[in-house]
Amino acid sequence: MDILIIDDDAVDRMSAIRTLRQSELSLDKIDQADTATDGIRCAAENGYDIILLDYQIPPSNGIEILREIRGGNDYSTAIVMLSHSNDENLALSCIEAGAQDFVMKSEITASRLKRAILISQERHSLEQQVRESHERLRYIAERDSLTGLRNRYFFDEALRDAITKNSRSGEQLVLMLLDLDNFKKINDVLGHQAGDSLLQEIARRLENPIRKSDKLCRLGGDEFAILVYDLPQLEHVRLLADRILKSLEKPMIIQGQTVAVTASIGVATYPLCATDATGLMKCADVAMYRAKELGRNRVQYYSHDFHQKMVSRMQLEFDLKQAIQGDQLILFFQPQLDTHSEQLVGVEALIRWQHHDLGIIQPDEFIPIAEESDLIIDIGRWVIQAACRQFSQWVDAAQGTHIHFSIAVNLSARQLKDHALSEFLQNCLKQYNIPADLVELELTESHLENSLSAIEMLNSLSDTGVKLSLDDFGTGYSSLSHLSQFPFSILKIDKSFVQSSDDEKQRTLLRAICAFAHSLGYETVAEGIETEAQKSFCQSLNVNRLQGYLFSQPIPAQAFENIWLQGTI
């Protein structure tokens, strides 16, 4: 047994040594220290089975030394406190501070000291077992079971502690939020087991670029957080973010499949962006979603200006939910004219939002919000029903006269996930007694998914008898092979080709697009016509229909009726 005696009184040390040798304990080594400094050093440098510590060692007291030793050797040694005092409160204070026993020097005998040492060792052993059990439970509580990284519980505690510490030291703290791009698609295609394997690989890769002092946590799902401490310059944050994105560049092999993964990262800094944990988290979250909006696979740094835009956007999303129920959505209508006769042959229904405070809001501002929040399903159905209702009123007003124009409604690619859309459309056609061949559904080429489910939904819609139109043709990914899979009968040529037709290269391209469309039997619509020259050129190409501000802007239903339908209904 190795023992250290810390006592500034040489007589008391000699007495303790004599008593130890009389105690029949198996003694290997007895070291002595007559100052607090030496005692703490010896305890740190050597592994003792027992430390006998005097309570009075000027200028410190035994409790201060006890705490210093406990802080240095992580409770690896049992400690018996010795004192001339018989104060029970003092004895209790020593036990509470971490001593295993308290013995008065006047009561020390060989048997008493032996018993105190053996009991202290046993008590210390039990304390160690409890402490180790607690540490194991704490490890489990703070670890993510899938990836082995720290979890959300640990992150919340670490973030609060770091802000408290940095508020005193004045140092900066950086929070990086990382969210995988399109992770849901991986789960949907390969399954959740593959998704779990991917998350494990991501966790392993993310550990490489960060420092040991930084904290990497998995917050849940495919979201990770990194707390970056003590960076000398903020420029290093950019370098770290670049290393993180680079660590994900190499494709991963998951269950025999090659998977490419990117991430969007939002960065916020304490105290520049926020002065509390909740605020800093919000700032990083705002920045991360901005990174996704800008195209994903990038880093976005928080700014107050952008935060205000995000707050406005969230308010707009909230208002949009109310608008659907509050009769704030309206339809405007824009005519489509026959190329040669310039008579009305079609009308496109275009949604507008009559906001209670902001006035008319254009679809470019709120449709992306609706698509992200899945409000597009309800809005899309509203547009179909409202357009059918308005068209039926025009049909009824015609009093049996043949309607010579069709109505077109825009459809979001997200609506193709609405499995009941085809049935809803059929019910609207039946409810308003509208011939299906007078209704057109327009889908934007650049947003169209070349997936089996999308093709099945388009075929289902086409089977109702309505016509399908491919909008903004020429700007997306369509090719002959793609077009052959979709049941489109109408191609709307994107206005960018029409409006740049004064350029010879663009004129040549527009000619080729029209020749391609006509050779395959597609009906063509040129949109965005604003000048007589553009109209004349499109007429020379035998485009079937013309649409644009040269003829009319989108206008309310009554105005459309007054201008375009007078005399015909």
Per-residue pLDDT, 524? 95
The full length of the chain comes to 569
pLDDT at 327: 84
Residue 378 binned pLDDT confidence (cut-offs 50, 70, 90): very high
* Banded model confidence at residue 390, pLDDT cuts 50, 70, 90: very high
Tokens of 64: 């201060």
- Looking at residue 454, what is its pLDDT? 82
What is the structure's pLDDT at 479?
Answer: 54
- Taking the C-alpha atoms of residue 288 and residue 175, their distance in angstroms, rounded to an integer, is 11
pLDDT at 307: 63
pLDDT on residue 233: 66
Q: What does the alpha-carbon distance between residue 510 and residue 514 come to, in Å, rounded to a whole number? A: 6
Mean pLDDT, residues 503-531 taken together: 91
pLDDT greater at residue 59 or residue 64: 64
Helices (H), 357-485: 363-372, 376-397, 421-431, 452-462, 480-485
Question: Is the separation of the CB atoms in 490 and 522 below 8 Å?
Answer: yes
The pLDDT > 70 percentage for the chain reads 94
CA distance 236 to 222: 25
Q: Are 433 and 392 in contact (CB under 8 A)?
A: yes
SS3 338: strand
pTM for the structure as a whole: 0.57
Write out pLDDT tens, residues 162-207. 898 888 777 788 999 999 998 888 887 888 888 899 999 999 999 9
Instruction: Report the Cα–Cα distance between both ends of the chain, in Å, rounded.
Output: 110
Q: Which residues lie closer than 8 Å to 379 by C-beta, 6 or more apart?
A: 324, 329, 351, 367, 370
DSSP summary character for residue 28:
S
Query: What six digits make up the tokens of 473?
Result: 């043709």
> What does the pLDDT read at residue 219?
92
Mean pLDDT of 461-468: 94
Q: Is the pLDDT of residue 337 over 90?
A: yes
* H/E segment holding residue 471: strand 467-473
Q: Where are the beta strands (DSSP E) in 445-551?
A: 467-473, 490-493, 523-526, 545-546
Q: C-alpha angle 155/153/186, rounded to 5°?
A: 80
Structural domains in the chain, sorted by start = 2-140 (3.40.50.2300), 152-302 (3.30.70.270), 314-565 (3.20.20.450)
- pLDDT band of residue 481 (cuts 50, 70, 90) is low
Dump pLDDT digits (tens) for 414-451: 898 888 999 999 999 999 999 999 999 999 876 676 66
Q: Tell me, what DSSP letter sits at residue 541?
A: T
- Angstrom CA distances, 152 to 141, 159, 195, 215, stand at 10, 10, 19, 12
Q: How high is the pLDDT of residue 312?
A: 79
Parallel, antiparallel, or unpaired for β 50-54 and 2-6? parallel
Local structure of 55: helix, strand or coil:
coil
- Please compute the mean of the pLDDT values over residues 205-216 and round it to a whole number: 90
Cα 340 to its chain centre, rounded Å, is: 53
CA–CA distance, 456 with 538 (Å, rounded to integer): 34
pLDDT at 517 over 60: yes
The percentage of the chain sitting over the pLDDT mark of 90, rounded to a whole number, equals 39
Res 476: pLDDT: 59
Q: What mean pLDDT comes out for the span 319-328?
A: 88
- DSSP-based helix, strand, coil % in the chain, nearest 5: 50, 20, 30
Task: Quote the tokens at residue 324.
Answer: 């659907």
Four-residue CA torsion sign, 335, 377, 352, 424: positive
Per-residue confidence (pLDDT) for residue 538, from 0 to 100: 94
Task: Provide the pLDDT for residue 356.
Answer: 86
pLDDT recorded at residue 556: 95
Query: Over 80: is that where the pLDDT of 232 sits?
Result: no
Averaged pLDDT, 509-529: 91
CA distance 51 to 31: 9
